[in-house]
């Protein structure tokens, strides 16, 4: 079964719109945008459209690309302390030379819907957070929709990045799943993927996982995005869908749900 992320996101969008309408509260998401990179602008536009559809105000704060790390953190801290801002995110990717974690740690727990600050990570990784990192929330939503059993299953997480690999692996372990995390240093990665009940990849290398590297009936969730000449590709080759019991492709799988989960987190934090 191929996951229709847009349809799932639409259901979440409708529910959030109704919740905001009932509460009659003004909710605002503040976005810090560094420079004017077209990729960054593209991602931001998608979020703005979602926000508009559910009745959330988005306030964009732009800073020049040559800003120093200290000045950037200072500016972000100012934005966080504006009372009307219910949640604050930094639009990624950030330019080279920026100490990303140092900047993100200026966001307080109560205003961190992306859950990228060290304090948010600590709370999530110890099982004390009421919300999930958006990509984890998206994957959990897919598994809940398809009644995917996690306890006792073997999962392979491809990539150990802060945005996908680390939070997904931590969550799966908490769900009673046996997890292997593989990366570019792993010899013979197919030895792991062929035994996996679940594969989740988020490294941004097009068609890295081929059909001959997975077993029949695998649950394959693609969270990796790479773009070349206007074409978007995922980490997992589309031929894997012929062998998978559940397949979330790129584009159209996890991505739309991840944005929906960001706004679900925002609304939860605003309470």
Distance from C-alpha of 110 to C-alpha of 103, rounded to nearest angstrom: 16
Q: Taking every pair of C-alpha atoms in the chain, what is the biggest distance, in angstroms?
A: 55
Q: Are 32 and 90 in contact (CB under 8 A)?
A: yes
Check whether 159 is labelled as a binding-site residue: yes
Six token digits for residue 250: 């790129």
Confirm or deny that 225 is annotated as ligand binding. Answer: yes
In DSSP terms, which residues pair with 246 in a beta bridge?
Answer: 219
Q: Round to whole Å and give the CA distance between 99 and 149.
A: 38
- 214 token code pair: 């997975």
Q: Do 7 and 256 contact (CB within 8 A), yes or no?
A: no
Q: How many CA atoms lie within 13 A of 127 on its CB side?
A: 5
140: alpha, beta or left, given left = phi > 0 and alpha = psi -120 to 50? alpha
Contact assessment for residue 1 and residue 248, using Cβ atoms and an 8 Å cutoff: no
Annotated binding site: 159-161, 225
Annotated binding site for NADP(+): 159-161, 225
């Amino acid at each position: 079964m191929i996951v229709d992320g847009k349809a799932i996101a639409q259901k979440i969008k409708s529910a959030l719109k109704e919740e905001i309408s009932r509460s009659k509260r003004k909710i605002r998401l503040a976005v810090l945008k560094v420079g004017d990179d077209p990729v960054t602008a593209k991602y931001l536009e998608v979020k703005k459209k979602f926000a508009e559809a559910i009745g959330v105000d988005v306030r964009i704060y732009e800073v020049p690309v040559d800003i120093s790390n200290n000045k950037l953190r200072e500016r972000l801290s100012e934005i966080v302390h504006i009372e009307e801002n219910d949640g604050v995110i930094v639009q990624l990717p950030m330019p080279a030379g920026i100490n990303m974690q140092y900047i993100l740690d200026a966001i307080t727990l109560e205003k961190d819907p992306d859950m990228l600050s060290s304090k948010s990570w600590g709370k999530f990784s110890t099982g004390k957070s009421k919300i999930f990192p958006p990509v984890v929330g998206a994957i959990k939503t897919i598994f809940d929709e398809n009644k995917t059993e996690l306890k006792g299953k073997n999962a392979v997480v491809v990539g150990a990045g802060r945005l996908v690999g680390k939070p997904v692996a931590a969550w799966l372990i908490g769900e009673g799943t046996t997890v292997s995390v593989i990366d570019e240093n792993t010899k013979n990665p197919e030895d792991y993927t062929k035994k996996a009940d679940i594969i989740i990849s988020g490294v941004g290398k097009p068609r890295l996982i081929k059909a001959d590297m997975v077993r029949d009936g695998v649950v394959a969730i693609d969270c990796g995005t790479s773009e070349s000449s206007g074409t978007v590709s995922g980490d997992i080759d589309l031929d894997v869908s012929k062998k998978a019991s559940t397949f979330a492709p790129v584009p159209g799988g996890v991505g739309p749900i991840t944005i929906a989960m960001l706004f679900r987190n925002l609304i939860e934090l605003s309470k």
